[in-house]
Amino acid sequence: MTELNSAASAPLHLPLVIAVDGPSASGKGTLSRRLATELNYTYIDTGAMYRTLAWWALQKGLHCAKPMTDADERAIVNLMRRWKAEMRIVDGQGWLHISGYFPAREIRTDTVERAVPVIAQISKVRDWMVARQRECVQFGPLVMEGRDIGTEVFPLAPVKFFLEADEGVRQARLAERGNAGSDGALRDSMDTSRKKGALYAALDAIRVNNTGQTPDETFAILMDHVRSRLGRS
């Protein structure tokens, strides 16, 4: 009984994670990387993990478009269970490598862009990804961006942001990046409606709509909240 009471009274140590969620072109990537650099945390782009699987599945000739049959989904899950994937830290950023290789350029193509929300609907894919993402605490404090970090991956994260911007602004940002052919609205709709790991703001997330703001202005808002929550000077 003494040991149980002692354990119950021990302080709860949570992994130090700053969760940054939001839809396409909401500024997650730029701001998350900047936060990680400023705080000397490790940056994790969880979307790149799904992109890497989508790229690998396409390389293997698997069907990664709607409609998906049960056989199509099983093929992707079986491939994922066999691939030699490992999270590695490169210059303070964590990336999923396949047999030691990170396909940095390959995962940013329109073909992969279209496949990502399709494979992200697969429940067992999400289970595998969430497990790998949680293991990233071994790398120390994290700034992790995605679409379900504050709700699914690290629901107890001490700092959660949900970034937003008007749809027209986000589409303009995609066009500026050379992703004019990317249907961000369709992807966001698929991610919002999926049964597991859906895109929505956690109840305790700090929502920031950066429409009309410069990246510097939004970054200042985020850093003010980080200092307030974590006591950083």
User: How far, in whole angstroms, is CA 229 from its chain's centroid?
Assistant: 21
Q: What is the pLDDT of residue 185?
A: 66
Residue 182 has pLDDT above 60, yes or no: no
Q: Compute the C-alpha angle 76/81/84, nearest 5°.
A: 110
For the chain, the domain total comes to 1
Among 152, 167, 158, which residue's Cα sits nearest to residue 199?
152
The token pair that represents 185 in the structure block: 């609205």
What are the tens digits of pLDDT across the range 113-168?
999 999 999 999 999 999 999 999 999 999 999 999 999 999 999 999 999 999 99
Among 147, 144, 146, which residue's Cα sits nearest to residue 44?
144
Using 50, 70 and 90 to split pLDDT, how confident is the model at 188? confident
Q: Provide the residue range defining the domain that includes 149.
A: 16-226
State the CATH number of the domain containing residue 93: 3.40.50.300
Q: Is residue 4 part of a domain?
A: no
Q: Is residue 6 part of a domain?
A: no
